[in-house]
Structure 1
Amino acid sequence: MANHDETTARRLRLLQSEFIQPGRRGPSAGRTTRPTEPAAPINLGILDYMRASVDEVEQHTRAAAPNAGPRPAEVDAIYDWYREHTAHLEPEKQLHREVVIYRQGLEHAIQMGDDKAIRRHPCPACATWGLFWNAALGKALCVNHYCTDDRGASRSWTLAYLAQQHVARQESSARRAT
């Protein structure tokens, strides 16, 4: 499970170092007006997103370990801190922790525009590798035309559900291997 932690931390670190800067729009096609106020020196949407992610982990940690001490100053160390202070929990709660970490890793990938992270998961209903991210719905959709709900619409899955399924598969594989 530590691999989820490292990937999620790496994605959060990458968000902080590369995506917090406002994006350049490239050369303009013709004349444009000059803005009357300067743009923010950082991407506030990404900053708010990162703050919410770290706050969620801190809330989960403090609920399980109220005396956990201050959260780490380095944003990507939050997941190590989370695991360290929740290692004493019963197995079900530790699995929930892994689901939170993995879900946040998927969310970080989506924030960076890496929707291919979704394609690495089989559809929970039909087990095909046809999941694609739909930003408008905020869910992963299965593109298998046989995988539809009662209304005939493509089945869709939240990141939380995909993370729960992934962690459960990993746990099952680990149990069978021992």
Structure 2
Amino acid sequence: MGNQDSATPTAATSMRLLRNQLTQPRPTNPEATRRATRVHGAPVVDLGLLDHLEETRTELIAATRRANPNAGPAPVDEGIYAWSDAATAHLQPGERQARDVVAHRQALEHALRVGDERVIRQERCPGCRCYSLMWRGTIERAVCIQARCRDEIGRASQWELKQVAHHHVTSRPQRAAN
């Protein structure tokens, strides 16, 4: 993740945007009809978003500590990706790819949480290698809209974020060679 085509800046930037979402006022329902008086106010932050940030942080820390138990304390902000890079710089290329897949998947998740579905459009389909992916939030998968990219029964190919991230990271050396 230390090279120019690294997933680290994207993951850190996406995490920063997600953290900014925590400080934005949450929308209220202006068309609300009569309802019971609240005893407590609404939470000031989106608790689902807070849980998501904590889960991704925990996942990255666990993966880093598996590779380097002496990694030191992890930062609490988006610097956690740079910390992970530095702590796992000694890994073999295949292990670094696995680390990069986690960071790239998390970057995609962060961007989707903010509502930026364009990040999926910028990825190649693992099946046909075209830039033809669309995000379907209802099934939480990227779907290829290319007519020739179908599964065994004729449905559009569907990809989980970890598959899209894995394809992105593992095809990086091939893209660099071209």
TM over 0.5: yes
SS of structure 1 residue aligned to 2:143: strand
Paired residue for 2:89? 87
Match of 1:141, SS state, is strand
Task: Give the alignment's Cα RMSD to 1 decimal.
Answer: 1.9
Once the two structures are TM-superposed, the CA of residue 167 in structure 1 deviates from its matched residue by 1.1
Q: How does 1:1-178 map to 2 (within 5 A)?
A: 1-2=1-2, 3-19=6-22, 21-25=24-28, 28-29=30-31, 31-33=33-35, 35-36=37-38, 37-73=40-76, 75-174=77-176, 176=177
Alpha-carbon distance between aligned partners in 2 of 1:63 and 1:168, rounded to the nearest angstrom: 21
CA offsets 1:140-176 (integer angstroms, 9 cap, x no match): 00112332111221110111111111112222233x2
Identity over aligned pairs, percent: 34
Q: Note the C-alpha offset of 1:130.
A: 1.8
TM-score (structure 1 length as normaliser):
0.89
**Could you tell me the TM-score, scaled by structure 2's length?**
0.89
Shift of 1:124: 1.8
Q: Once the 2 structures are TM-superposed, how far is the Cα of residue 45 of structure 1 from its aligned partner? A: 0.3
Q: Secondary structure at the match of 2:146?
A: coil
SS at match of 2:134: strand
Find the aligned partners of 2:128 and 2:61 in 1 and give their Cα distance. Answer: 36
SS across alignment from 1:76: coil
Contact 1:58-1:82 at 8 Å conserved across structures: yes
- Residues of 2 paired with 1:35 and 1:118: CA distance? 42
Q: How many residue pairs end up in the alignment?
A: 174
Structure 2 unaligned segments of length 5 or more: list them. none
How far apart in 2 are the matches of 1:43 and 1:21?
Answer: 9
Return the alpha-carbon distance in structure 1 between the equivalents of residues 115 and 128 of structure 2: 26
Deviation of residue 21 (structure 1)?
Answer: 4.0
Counterpart CA distance in 2 for 1:93 and 1:32 is 57
